[in-house]
Structure 1
Amino acid sequence: MHKILAGVLLLGVSFVPQAYAETASVAVAANFTAVAEQLAAAFKTATGDEVTLSFGATGALYTQITQGAPFDILLSADDIRPAKAVANGLGVDGSVFTYAIGSLALYSTSIDVTDGEAVLKADAFQKIAIADPKTAPYGQAAIESLTKLGLLDAVTPKFVTGENITQTLQFVDSGNAELGFVAASQVIGKEHVWIVPAELHEPIKQDAVLLKTGAENKAATGFLDFLKSDAAVAVIEASGYTVK
């Protein structure tokens, strides 16, 4: 990963540092935390401009935006909130695009979940972590997957619900739940992981939108352009996502 980041500036990215640096405030879905931090650092090196990052569940971040939070960009974990932002007059028309497509994973530190469907059907666990499906798209994808498998009613009493996907991962890592549904990007290289088949849930399309508060901010528009660059796409894909 560090080699990829080091190569960001060697891949022909035409971002020239500006004489007067600006800062953009970006609301970022929790599952994209590590990648966003890496991209923000690469963007600053390439342009001199900075982005400050605020992480959380997509639904919670969108609520903050509707209440006047001064974000310039929303990097959502779904394709619903960015469209709503534009429809509700909060986002810039024509600025929405898919920056990543996520994968759902079942993860454990103690149970071999490589055959995740069998593990879920065996029901030999006490607690399973899930992100709040009301605010976190990965939590909603987990609900859809369990429903497709016919296991939702059996598993629901065992839920330990995280406010976002980062807290959900913490529940598993800390042992507060034996297993949990997380973003595949969070558990790259881990031993006990099952990538949930994509046909069990709706695609996790993660869309970006330029908010009207950032329409005149060159750091905000520049960062969105940067996300579409080949160098940024390489980092995103190396982190466990696909890019449309």
Structure 2
Amino acid sequence: MRYRLIQPLAFLLSCFSLGNATAAEVQVAVAANFTAPIQAIAKDFEKDTGHKLVAVYGATGQFYTQIKNGAPFEVFLSADDTTPAKLEKEGDAVPGSRFTYAIGTLVLWSAQDGYVDTKGEVLKTGQYKHLSIANPKTAPYGLAATQVLDKLGLASAVKPKLVEGQNITQALQFVSSGNAELGFVALSQVYKDGKITSGSAWIVPADMHEPIKQDALILKKGEANPAAQALVDYLKGPKAAEVIKSYGYQL
């Protein structure tokens, strides 16, 4: 009788030990605009798979340089589709692992209520001292911002007012701190569950700039890591999709 009572417990303990043995850690380079969503996704990912996600946030162009210089990233969540495609072509990624995990939205935002109108006409008034954008050479959202300014015919007029952040997080910080009255940032940074979380904003129409297709892929360093494949699979699943859409991204 004693053996029969202990056997189920021993079986459960052996399964628990096996689960721990197969759990792994994945090093992920994450575009700064996707900080909040991946933090939310990571909690469910770790709970559902047992794997641990370790993220570093920054500008896509800077990540490219770091990856080429041997940074230990295993999965890359880019803010564009051209950089992952380039890494794939250059042999730095697992072939066939690249996919679009989100399509980003650009927004003109101010921390002040009522400062930005719903059509972005505030840009044409010129009554602001500083306009924050991310570095267009390394951050796709910064590049999209310059395309919008070009389309509006304002590039030359606002050039003396531009304040560039190294990435989209720093561009947001300039506006949040009041160092810039307004700025072009990612909608995901100021949006949650169908509404702008604070301040005032103009959601830029998608046809005013090139699509911000954000691709992910498994890098060569993650080829043998089961947690890397698990994360990519999880990002394609319904739980992750729900989180991604809640931050204003398209799928």
Q: TM-score normalized by structure 2?
A: 0.88
- Alpha carbons 2:118, 2:203 under 8 Å: kept: no
- Per the alignment, residue 168 of structure 1 pairs with 171
Number of matched pairs: 228
Please state how far the C-alpha of 1:116 moved relative to its aligned partner.
4.4
Give 3-state SS (helix, strand or coil) of 1:55's partner.
strand
- Per the alignment, residue 214 of structure 1 pairs with 222
Please state how far the C-alpha of 1:114 moved relative to its aligned partner.
2.3
Please state how far the C-alpha of 1:191 moved relative to its aligned partner.
3.5
The question of 1:136 aligning with 2:139 is answered yes
Please state how far the C-alpha of 1:20 moved relative to its aligned partner.
2.4
Residues 73-125 of structure 1, C-alpha deviation per residue, up to 9 Å, x if partnerless?
11000001110011111011111100000000000122521234311111110
- Alpha carbons 2:102, 2:215 under 8 Å: kept: yes
- Per the alignment, residue 8 of structure 1 pairs with none
CA RMSD of aligned residues (A): 1.3
Larger gyration radius, structure 1 or structure 2:
2
Unaligned runs of 5+ in 2: 1-18, 192-196
- Structure 1 residue runs of 4 or more that deviate by more than 4 Å after TM superposition: none
The question of 1:179 aligning with 2:182 is answered yes
User: Once the two structures are aligned, what percentage of the paired residues are identical?
Assistant: 54
- Alpha carbons 1:95, 1:209 under 8 Å: kept: yes
Q: Work out which of the residue numbers 52, 61, 64 in structure 2 matches 1:62.
A: 64
Q: Work out which of the residue numbers 99, 102, 107 in structure 2 matches 1:97.
A: 99
| Aligned mates of 2:205, 2:22 — CA distance in 1 | 47
| Aligned mates of 1:191, 1:128 — CA distance in 2 | 15
Amino acid at match of 2:79: A
Unaligned runs of 5+ in 1: 1-16
Pairs within 5 Å for 1:28-177 = 28-110=30-112, 112-177=115-180
Q: TM-score normalized by structure 1?
A: 0.91
| Aligned mates of 1:192, 1:32 — CA distance in 2 | 21
| Aligned mates of 1:116, 1:31 — CA distance in 2 | 23
